[in-house]
Amino acid sequence: MKFSVVHVNGARGRCIEMKLDAPVTVRQAILASPLPQLFPYLDPDTHRIGIYGRLCPPDTQVGEGDRVEIYLPATRRAGDDEDEQD
C-alpha cells in the first residue's frame, strides 16, 4: 500500500512517500518513516495527527493513497488577541 507521511515546521518540512503492507495504523506509519529521526521531538502519542487535514487517533488505519500529517501545537504570540485600533 502506498501513502505519504508529512510534517512541516516552518521552512523545514518533509513529505515522505511510503510503501508498507496493510494493515498499517497512523502511529505505525509515522514510526516507520524517517520523520522521527529527522525531527526527534515528534511523538505520535502527544502530537495531533490526521489524514488529509482531519484529526484522527493514532490507531486509525491508513488507506491507499492517504496523506498522514503530524501537526505542531499552535503557539500564541504576545498581542495576537489584541484588537487593532484605527
Q: How far apart are CA 1 and CA 45, in angstroms?
A: 23
Residue 7: alpha-carbon gap to chain centroid = 5
CATH tag for 2-71 (out of 1.10.300.10, 3.10.20.30, 1.10.10.10, 3.90.209.20): 3.10.20.30
Looking at residues 65-80, what average pLDDT do you find?
A: 75
Q: Which of 3-7, 35-39, 76-80 has the highest mean pLDDT?
A: 3-7
pLDDT bucket at 27, cuts 50 / 70 / 90 = very high
* Ranges of each domain in the chain: 2-71
The answer to whether residues 26 and 42 touch, using CB atoms and an 8 Å cutoff, is: no
Indicate the pTM of the whole model.
0.78
* Strand ranges for the chain from DSSP E: 2-9, 12-19, 48-51, 54-55, 67-71
